[in-house]
Chain A
């Protein structure tokens, strides 16, 4: 029996405002509140609310036969909480039906998985806690930003206790293999992989309303027929997309909601069920490991990280941002941590792409990749200066010297502790002797304190030469 696994991503970045270089050092607020409010509200009104309402209806009408998974980025959640709480209400209602699963993802929707293990793990766990708080259940399945996945990332996910990850059924990885099976991570066999069927996913998210498409207009019957016609042994059909595809990329007047609504009934007729990612992982064995040495993603024709890190501009911005990652992990400055989250969002890098693939790149307020880069680097300039104000830059030699000093001090502490022990025992024995003597002649008390007074100058003269 075949099963369809529907998964939708909800995310909205915090838009950066126009930030000139002369603002560096004087203006520490980087966001365009008006754009953020209006864009989030538009997204909610045009897409999220109608789409989620439809899915809620679908679950209720089909008595739970329809199942779906969602993931909301941490930054996206913040935006929805602020500007469109009705979306979160709807998510709660869907959650109550029990026919839905919430997945985990990096809080910032950024590319930390490619930069810093510590940052990645920290923000995934933070998101995990947030989802548990909100929806009551700890996510067991991870989806990385842009569905980026590699063996290394799989290993990290497995270390964090996830049992599955979503990724792209990219041709250059799968070759002759089909995405309609469950695979496992090559370097962590207990982590299962669900791979997106990009053809079926894009049929809905990219092509549905395109009258020039050969399959236009697409009906639910046809769509389910395609799935039913797959070979018997291909059981899992993963359809992943941004929720904004419904309503934004494919406008509502294209009857995309009617299409969605008709899916469960058509599937039932052909004996096809719906599952959440966790159910798929629990009910299906892995057919084998999938080796992914280089990161793959669901973006562009190349299905790799090149839409975020394809040119030198993007790579510089990326490396500059994560150059302070360690210091951000150390700090308690909430504002700084928050800005780091917002600046990490992958879209900031995507705006700088210079790829020419025939599709016009959405660049928001930016006119060109250089414009996007300049604005981002200005903001980063201010941000990095703030980080440095707390944790100044150090060259490696200085850092090495300090580390050496800490190590020396540790050795010294051990030595001194031993010395203290020694002296204490000495003292104890002397005290005993003194007590005995005192019993004989109780006037003499001075020699008892002498060893303690001796200890202090000794410690000082040991530490000084080593610290230099």
Chain B
């Protein structure tokens, strides 16, 4: 089975759960053997793991014909694409895009990540998708998240192949209901044109059905999983402060993640006990508000903001924690609690998180119920048996959630969509 996938990020250069999920899913999928995946991303850095799939660098696919020699192409983009591939794509330029801003190779540059001109980048991405779709051979198109829906639709129109889209989040999650009309329009258009829609949780599926008016039979749930930790990560020795417990929040400090509920719960806990520290790792538009709120509650001495973390730092932080908490107001899935559980950290999540649907060995509270949250934190920190139980059983549970199983389900769905 040949799949053309459109994605926006891929490890190690990620800013959220989307890249991690894309990696896990594709890696699990190729285990099945007879699978070939071409994964398009706007701006690869060349250090991506392409041992099991082919990464298509969208910023190296020409849309304007330029006469460039082999060596020059190799020196310019050899890191991410061979000159042969470049020439093959050049054969399939389908329209005159010389009015667009292109570089010496006839390609469009991407800033990468989520820049201010995101809507332009989305549009450019879908123009390039037309070239890719005309060049490559594939059975099905798979678009990850709204940024790549237009590209998916374009590829579908060009090739006539079926399009499935993968909803990792909706704008309703990001905005607590105040959706951005442009984003909504892109999302809705993608869903309307898709032959099938995957959602990362039942929670998201309901949003897609009710807020985007999709027919339930067209929408199915495909929960995320986790990639087993590498030995290097497993070997990290946890740095623990003696006689102190650390409660960690790790994620973007934005409205969607409910950071203020964490601060309020921390204030409750600190009224009663002094040997617990709180850590809010990450950055985001609400960070300054949170620093102010912490000061207002008078708990700054026990509440820390270490800032944005990546790679190994994340795991060092998790391993040093005694409790992980994710009080998200609306979380389509939320892969981070699973990672915390992999690091043997007892976890508290909000019931409004998609991962709550598949996790059992963790504590679930309503995101607004700061009393319940405080109680759970206090209980884990003060009762050794609960800590041990959640640590051991949580690890076991999360180890049984594998991408291979998810990929098997994905395969069945593909086949259903294709009528195989």
A interface residues with partner B (beta carbon < 8 Å): 20-22, 24, 311-313, 315-317, 354, 367-368, 370-371, 373-375, 377-378, 381
The A-contacting residues of B in range 94-108, CB under 8 angstroms, are none
Are A20 and B376 touching (Cβ within 8 A)?
no
Interface string of B252-277 (1 = CB under 8 A from A): 00000000000000001101100000
Are A316 and B383 touching (Cβ within 8 A)?
yes
Are A377 and B371 touching (Cβ within 8 A)?
no
The A-contacting residues of B in range 218-276, CB under 8 angstroms, are 268-269, 271-272
Are B374 and A373 touching (Cβ within 8 A)?
no
| Besides A313-B389, A374-B386, A377-B383, 7 new A-B residue pairs in contact (Cβ under 8 A), listed by A number | A21-B378, A24-B272, A316-B383, A317-B385, A354-B389, A354-B393, A374-B379
Are A22 and B374 touching (Cβ within 8 A)?
yes
The A-contacting residues of B in range 361-394, CB under 8 angstroms, are 363-364, 371-372, 374-376, 378-379, 382-386, 388-390, 393
Minimum Cβ distance to chain B for residue A208 (Å): 32
Are A370 and B363 touching (Cβ within 8 A)?
yes
B interface residues with partner A (beta carbon < 8 Å): 268-269, 271-272, 363-364, 371-372, 374-376, 378-379, 382-386, 388-390, 393
- Tell me which residues across on chain B come within 8 A of A315, comparing CB atoms: 385
Partner of B374, one of A21, A354, A367, A371: A21
> Which of B268, B376, B378 has the most A CB atoms < 10 Å from its CB?
B378
Minimum Cβ distance to chain B for residue A180 (Å): 41
Cα distance, A367 to B269, chains bound together (Å):
21
Are A378 and B379 touching (Cβ within 8 A)?
yes
Are B390 and A22 touching (Cβ within 8 A)?
no
Are A20 and B375 touching (Cβ within 8 A)?
yes
- Tell me which residues across on chain A come within 8 A of B376, comparing CB atoms: 370, 374
Top 6 nearest A-B pairs (CB, nearest first) are A316-B385, A374-B379, A21-B378, A312-B385, A370-B363, A312-B389
- Tell me which residues across on chain A come within 8 A of B382, comparing CB atoms: 21, 377, 381
Are B385 and A21 touching (Cβ within 8 A)?
no
- Tell me which residues across on chain B come within 8 A of A316, comparing CB atoms: 383-386
Cα distance, A316 to B271, chains bound together (Å):
25
Are B384 and A370 touching (Cβ within 8 A)?
no
Partner of A367, one of B364, B371, B378, B383: B364
> Which of B272, B374, B384 has the most A CB atoms < 10 Å from its CB?
B272
Are B385 and A313 touching (Cβ within 8 A)?
yes
- Tell me which residues across on chain A come within 8 A of B271, comparing CB atoms: 22
23 contacts between A and B (CB under 8 A): A20-B371, A21-B374, A22-B268, A22-B271, A311-B389, A312-B385, A312-B389, A313-B383, A313-B389, A316-B383, A316-B384, A368-B363, A368-B364, A370-B376, A370-B386, A371-B372, A373-B386, A374-B379, A374-B383, A374-B386, A377-B383, A378-B378, A381-B382
Decide: A20 near B374, CB < 8 A? Known: A316-B385, A371-B363: yes
Instruction: Considering the complex, give the chain A residue whose CB is closest to the CB of B271.
Output: A22
Cα distance, A373 to B372, chains bound together (Å):
13
- Tell me which residues across on chain A come within 8 A of B364, comparing CB atoms: 367-368
Instruction: Considering the complex, give the chain B residue whose CB is closest to the CB of A314.
Output: B385
Are B383 and A373 touching (Cβ within 8 A)?
yes
Instruction: Considering the complex, give the chain B residue whose CB is closest to the CB of A316.
Output: B385
- Tell me which residues across on chain A come within 8 A of B385, comparing CB atoms: 312-313, 315-317
Partner of B379, one of A22, A354, A367, A377: A377
Partner of A21, one of B272, B363, B384, B390: B272
